[in-house]
Amino acid sequence: MAKDYSRGTWFIWITLFLALAADMLPYPASFLRFKPEITLLLLLFWIIYQPRVMGVATAFLLGLFLDVLYGAQLGQHAFTLSVVAWFSLSSAQRIRMWKPAQQSVFIFIIVGIYQSLNYWLAGVGNWAQLGLNYLLPALIAAVLWPMLSLTLGQFARGVGVENQ
């Protein structure tokens, strides 16, 4: 008998919508360089734990929303989210078996790739002045990952979303 993977997808979409809403909130300028990519984190969580429901097409769609939200070049975030979604999707089974600390290293690398691609596509020409500060959100995302995956995983199981 085939398993119904669409069960609980309403919860997944609500969390992604809330992540987009959290990205729209006005943050102080001093906080912006530390702000983790909330939409990216939740998208990575759902891609890793629900690979049959979330995928590259969902990442592309969310990226278009982020392009409009941030006023970026149309397709910039769509492309970068699609790239990191593909990397995450191709190794989702392996990642689920890792310990939270190992997953955090993967999240750091993936969010770092996302940040690097976004800066490159945005045409930020003065990379030397940025230094490694653009990787601060990746570091914060890696620190937040174990707590996020544990909490969101428990909520998901509570509403009937099963790991795949």
Is residue 28 domain-resident?
Answer: no
Is residue 138 domain-resident?
Answer: yes
Is residue 162 domain-resident?
Answer: no
Alpha-carbon 157 to chain mean position? 20
Residue 132 belongs to domain spanning: 9-23+33-155
- Residues contacting 109, CB < 8 A, separation 6+: 138
What does pLDDT average to over the chain?
87
- Give tens-digit pLDDT for 129-160: 566 777 899 999 999 999 999 999 888 888 87
Is residue 67 domain-resident?
Answer: yes
The percentage of the chain sitting over the pLDDT mark of 90, rounded to a whole number, equals 56
* Mean pLDDT of all residues in 70-96: 93
Lowest-confidence range among 16-25, 27-36, 104-113? 27-36
Q: Which amino acid is at 2?
A: A
Per the structure, the count of domains in the chain is 1
The structure's pTM equals 0.89
Evaluate if residue 2 carries a pLDDT over 60.
no
Evaluate if residue 1 carries a pLDDT over 50.
no
Report the greatest alpha carbon distance in the chain. 58
- Residues contacting 128, CB < 8 A, separation 6+: none
pLDDT computed for residue 3 by the predictor: 57
pLDDT computed for residue 126 by the predictor: 54
- Give tens-digit pLDDT for 91-119: 999 999 999 999 999 999 999 999 989 88
Is residue 1 domain-resident?
Answer: no
pLDDT computed for residue 30 by the predictor: 84
How many angstroms separate the Cα of 34 from the Cα of each of 82, 99, 133, 143? 23, 25, 9, 12
Is residue 51 domain-resident?
Answer: yes
Is residue 146 domain-resident?
Answer: yes
